[in-house]
Structure 1
């Protein structure tokens, strides 16, 4: 049996009790991530009727329940955990998916995933201090990472320095396939710029 999401025994017991209360035969649980790999990613746990099972779902069989996992979400569910903590009020179900916004990458991961991982984990936290962010638009065949700045970086007078000395230097140093970085942001819109 393959485990895509770790579900503790207490969580399994709780989820099975919820399914038992449903009047639909064959009711299961479905786990998926909306907007996986983005800062807007949300991990979702929902009831799943037999007719709602997607052809792209994979099955994780548990002793007390059946779990359908959206195949596209699997890389983002690595190291995920569903737990149930009992308390005097009944308890609380918690879902932790540390890789929902960005899957773990390694040297064999596609270049785009490695770029996004670096942007999300190392570069954007620094830009966030000025209300800014940067995202990958595309990675070209000739090794150019095409980027777009947003928030406080859009229209910022220091964006050239940020791009060359910060973003480009970091990306080229850590991802050898990158030959250059190009900014396609419309910097004429400077309403929220950090430096004007």
Structure 2
């Protein structure tokens, strides 16, 4: 499943030895798997921290745990450590963590969600916002829910029309319309309080 080089194992063993606890091990998990924001996170863990669903690899002098829900995203992953003048660089290569781009044979919902997670939400995140797919009706009309900094934002109409809808219709031609179901009057922390400034995405 995952290949941990000898240099990486020695690096982990050095880090563990510096912590002063014999029960420590290393755990790896994937955050936001299947999206453009996917990332690998490493942490020290004690036996009490383990949930029980981890995959465990016996390394040279320590145990390396892979979070159970992350395991499928780490197929063919590699971990290596490259020494350099300033110490070294740990490299994790996990080709599957961002998921596969849905092909034309994939369902409409799957393709819309992929565009939202891989292209649109990373851009909205710069303004603390996000958008979620609620439904797609039989005519191809997409209903969305805005959250975070986009909830109640004075520029959300511009973001919807010039950013979100434009991107979705370019990537998924079957879409006929994009509508916003958000009650923007209830937004608590909008990025723009009035209709001024610029869109988070356009």
Q: TM-score if structure 2 supplies the norm length? A: 0.61
Q: CA deviation at 1:10?
A: 1.1
2:48 aligns to what SS in structure 1? helix
Aligned to 2:89: 92
Structure 2, unpaired ranges of 5+: 186-192
1:66 is aligned, of 63, 84, 100, to 63
Aligned to 2:171: 170
Residues 109 and 43 of structure 1, relative CA distance in 2, 3 Å threshold: farther
* Preserved CA contact (<8 Å) 1:134 1:147: no
Residues 34 and 87 of structure 1, relative CA distance in 2, 3 Å threshold: same
Alpha carbon RMSD of aligned pairs, Å? Answer: 4.3
Whether 1:56 aligns to 2:56 is no
Residues 75 and 136 of structure 1, relative CA distance in 2, 3 Å threshold: farther
Aligned to 1:193: 198
Q: CA deviation at 1:137?
A: 3.1
State which drifts further: 47-56 or 31-40.
31-40
Q: CA deviation at 1:82?
A: 2.5
2:10 is aligned, of 13, 18, 21, to 13
Q: TM-score if structure 1 supplies the norm length? A: 0.63
